[in-house]
Amino acid sequence: MSSLDTYAAKKLAALEARHLRRTLVETAREDGIWVQRAGRKLLSFSCNDYLNLSQHPNVQDAAIAAIREHGAGAGASRLVTGNHPLYAALETRLARLKQTEAACVFGSGYLANLGIISTLIGRNDLVLVDELSHSCILAGAALSGGKMLTFRHNNIEDARALLTQHRASHRHVLIATDGVFSMDGDLAPLHELAALSQEHDAWLLSDDAHGIGVVGGGRGSGFARGGKADIPLQMGTLSKAVGGYGGYLCASQFVIDLIKTRARTFVYSTALPPPTVAAAIAALDIIEQDAALTAKPLQKAKAFTSRLNLREAESAIVPIVLGDTETTLNASRMLEDEGFLVSAIRPPTVPNGTSRLRLTFTAAHPDAEIARLAAIIGERLLVH
Ligand SMILES: *Cc1c(COP(=O)(O)O)cnc(C)c1O
Does residue 136 have its Cβ closer than 6 Å to ligand 1?
Answer: yes
For residue 163, being part of any structural domain is answered with: yes
| 71/212 same-domain check | yes
CB of 182 closer than 6 angstroms to any ligand 1 atom: yes
Same domain? 168 vs 273: yes
Q: Give me ligand 1 centre to Cα 372, in Å.
A: 30
Instruction: Please give the pLDDT value at position 82.
Output: 85
Residues shown for the chain: 384
How far is it, in rounded angstroms, from Cα 32 to Cα 55?
A: 6
| Residues 81 and 164 both lie in one domain | yes
Which pTM does this prediction carry?
Answer: 0.96
Domain membership of residue 325 (yes or no) is: yes
**Ligand 1 atom, smallest distance to 210 CA:** 15
Let me know whether 42 and 65 are in one domain.
no
Distance of CA 18 to the CA centre of its chain: 27
DSSP code of 272? P
Q: Quote the pLDDT of residue 273.
A: 97
Judge if 77 and 94 occupy the same domain: yes
Residue 236 in any domain: the answer is: yes
Query: Do 274 and 322 reside in the same domain of the chain?
Result: no
Same domain, 198 and 262: yes
C-alpha to C-alpha distance for 342 and 42, rounded to whole angstroms: 10
DSSP code string of 34-70: EEEETTEEEEES----TT-GGG-HHHHHHHHHHHHHH
Same structural domain, 220 and 335: no
Q: What is the pLDDT along the chain (384 residues), one digit of tens a residue?
A: 999 999 999 999 999 999 889 889 899 988 879 999 989 999 999 999 999 999 999 999 999 999 999 999 999 999 998 899 999 999 999 999 999 999 999 999 999 999 999 999 999 999 999 999 999 999 999 999 999 999 999 999 999 999 999 999 999 999 999 999 999 999 999 999 999 999 999 999 999 999 999 999 999 999 998 899 999 999 999 999 999 999 999 999 999 999 999 999 999 999 999 999 999 999 999 999 999 999 999 999 999 999 999 999 999 999 999 999 999 999 999 999 999 999 999 998 999 999 999 999 999 999 999 999 999 999 999 875
- The ligand 1 atom nearest the CA atom of 245: 7
Q: Are the beta carbons of 361 and 50 closer than 8 angstroms? A: yes
Residue 225: give the domain boundaries. 59-289
pLDDT at residue number 120:
98
Domain co-membership, 70 together with 26: no
The alpha carbon of 283 and the centre of ligand 1 are apart by a number of angstroms equal to: 18
Asked if 272 and 213 sit in the same domain, the reply is yes
Q: Is the CB of 237 under 6 A from ligand 1?
A: yes
Residue 168 falls inside a structural domain: yes
pLDDT value, residue 32: 79
The pLDDT assigned to 5 comes to: 97
Q: Does residue 372 share a domain with residue 224?
A: no
User: Which CATH number goes with the domain that contains 343?
Assistant: 3.90.1150.10
User: Partners of 148 in the beta sheet?
Assistant: 127
Alpha helices in 220-316 (DSSP H): 253-262, 264-267, 274-289, 291-307
- State how far Cα 305 lies from the chain centre: 21
Q: Are residues 328 and 270 in the same domain?
A: no
CATH number at residue 260: 3.40.640.10
**How far is Cα 162 from Cα 184, in angstroms, rounded to an integer?**
24
The preferred substitution site among 153, 186, 207, 343 for testing ligand 1, maximizing ligand atoms within 8 Å of CB, is: 207
Structural domain includes residue 311: no
Ligand 1 contacts CB of residue 179 (under 6 A) = no
Number of domains the chain contains: 2
Question: Quick check: is 230 in a domain?
Answer: yes
Supply the angle between the helices 367-380 and 325-337 in degrees, to the nearest 10.
140
Q: Which one-letter DSSP state was computed for residue 222? A: G
